[in-house]
Chain A
Amino acid sequence: MSDLLTIAGNTYSSRLLIGTGKYKDFEETREAIETSGAEIVTVAIRRTNIGQNADEPNLLDFINPDKYTILPNTAGCFSAEDAVRCCKLARELLDGHDLVKLEVLGDQKTLYPNITHTLRAARELIDDGFKVMVYTNDDPIVAKELEDMGCVAVMPLGSLIGSGLGILNPHSIRLILEEANVPIIVDAGVGTASDAALAMEMGCDGVLLNSAVAHAQKPVLMASAMRKAIEAGREAFLAGRMPRKAYASASSPLDGISR
């Protein structure tokens, strides 16, 4: 079945986007990501350790940029200025690669997005030629504004980053989906496979997660579960679920029973 996710003109057969943080080591990162089937992989941009350990392994030796679409994110940025600077460094680092995940955070306790700074940074990045996939809250008005501005994907939170609480307000996500003309990707909050499946059954275009896999007891096995959940949820969405009813409806004919 040809059912591709299109982001900024590029197509992907996997609808799972996965982070590379919080794994035990790079080998586990590589194995989990490979198992997940994800084609888009997020990374963070940070200061290089200097003065020691010249042979320290590098993430991009394990996650090959020729094989995966590397999505640098601005996680850890608490202002529009810092986020824009981070994206420019990422573009230089990745030889002109201009697809970025914009995430401007509001405070340490909730890591909730700071929307005023997010809007400002998105504007500036788009004007500078970046293709912006934007982390936002589950407010349908803000989501629409980010789309209208030219973001290539809008990524509302299911719940707080790293919380594993799942999709706390599916009604808001549904409102966002009803109006969207760009991919809507649930980003943050997924705790286990059923959370990811729910997002896809609702009609989301994809799911971005990290902790649910990295912090599972067996990350590689959870990566496999997520792959299947995303595929199952997507197929269920495309199949169209039966209506909910208040009373029973027999699956076997009630006539012709021997008496």
Chain B
Amino acid sequence: MPKLVIDDKEIEVLEGMTVLQAAAEAGVEIPVFCYHPKLSIAGNCRMCLVEVKNTPKPVASCAMPVCEGMVVHTNSAMVEKARKGVLEFLLINHPLDCPICDQGGECDLQDITMAYGRSSSRFDLNKRAVPDKEFGPLIETAMNRCIQCTRCVRFSSEIVGIPELGAMGRGEDMEIGTYVQKTITSELSGNLIDICPVGALTSKPYSFKGRSWELSHTPSIDVFDAVGSAIRVDTRGREVMRILPRQNDEVNETWISDKTRFAYDGLKYQRLDQPYARGEDGLLHPVGWKEAFSLIADRLQHVPGNHIATLAGDMVDAEAMVALKDLMTSLGSPHIDCRQEGSSVGVGPRCSYLFNTTIAGIEQADFCLLIDTNPRWEAPLINARIRKNYLFNNLPVASIGPVYPLGYPVKDLGNDPQILEKILKGKHPICSALKAARKPMLILGQGGLKRPDGDVILRLTQEIADKYGFVQKAWNGFNVLQTAASRVAGLDLGFVPGPKGYGTQKILEAAKKKKIEVVYLLAADEIDVNSLESTFVIYQGHHGDRGATVADVILPGCAYTEKEGTYVNTEGRVQRTLKATPPPGEAKEDWKIIKALSDKLGLSLPYVTPKEIQARLVEVNPLFDEVDRIQPSSWKPFGREGNVNPAPFEFAIQNFYMTDSISRHSRTMAKCVQQILGQEKVHA
């Protein structure tokens, strides 16, 4: 381990680190533009110049490896002069339009110029003009401001793996752009806004909406997929202004998907802000909470427990689910299900529905088998991790199911579930690669699991995992990729049919036959609501979406930015959201609604404060006590023996930009569907 001196501080760092990284360890700040910890080193902005003893010229610290006995100065006269010079050159062509620039107040160039630049300009000639580019509905461009750091170019070719951005021309005429005005198709494109150190790439939906210093920041968790990315909700007053990523190297590193970042405008439209009840005219009329509760109580009076059913949606927090489950138990109903897509898996041991390898663990895998999953749509950040492993270790990836470009080469084994049987019998060419792999992993998508033979596929996959050593002492390569943020918590809480209880499909069928008279939808919208037309439907949720259209009573709940809720991500990581804004109108926190309803029904649930409901979560499943940690789960047999249906697989998600009640009402997402979706085709 080399020792070196940085600004009179002696420090010992790892072999192969750069001077910049060593300086960061020593607590010495070096200004940078082109350097980004998650991207390759370009060394073209020259902002990080430092003086190294015995070198005649300043050295770019981001690209300089440390060596034994190095003496580095970051505050000498030479460095100061070099920084001033670099900034002066950068500002030659950078417009001084900070007052009208969206980056103003959170701009690297602005901050660094304040700290290290000259106090005035000596430049009185014309600046160059660069035409703005059209990058689609999410990214606003002001290419005059570009300082050619090429972070965006490296991001799209390294992290996304679909090179769409490039540096055209040369020298002073160099411009960043796409190939002939092509829009950017990546699901991670919003991160370009974060990595751009100046105001060249800014958020289109947020453009001219606010200033960074006006916003309040609330750390929270994303619920648009089951990854549970760490986010920061920026609000002004009651309004969510934008959503940014927080760093969590275990989950999302520093990235978030475009849906996470941009679907927030859906929180403004079509909100349920007060209770409604369907009148005799067949229309929904606003009512008070008391009236809504009495309507429900009256209807429930004459219905036996096993004629009541409930379904929980994809974005529901654990608190609401445990409260509703307790209420249903008190009412005597076994018909509860949190798997509204109709999947029959999730009742076995915990490892049968988790992403056991963990997201960070993907980086250690040396073989990856995708089974009917399109991680680019189902979990863009998991796809980025697979891509990362491919980039550094050339991870071989094979896929059974439809094909979609993922940003790394995928060996297409065909779209036939019976290939799984062949692999199990060792009669498939891929078997030798599986045998040779030391840390193989597989990812089973929801598309395969929601088929009627989903549990057979689950068993087959487990047998493959057992046969080819996917599960070892310190390695579990068996992964189910959940798509719903609420799903793992629901399964952990046992929000599944009790003895003689119906699952989603049977509930809907029974509702058609009027064997189920009352259905309680807890923000469940991804179901065939037509089956519920003759049923008394209580819809509790935050959006007037599909479920609300058939509702007889609507109870307005909170969206994920408006409540403190517990979510468990696809790895089994318990995380909590914080309240960033108050809910609209008379809407209330979901578990409190259920608690209040239970009081009205005379079945008082025994919790009043948030602490008590969280204690109840821990009582039902102790792992809710372990926030931000993953509990190892034991490997036991699951699934069902049987024959696989040879019908081809289908992806669980057909439209990345609209998967739930919030993104369906987002205008930004609607523009994405129009302009981006469908540029690349899924091949069945």
Q: Do A and B bind each other?
A: no
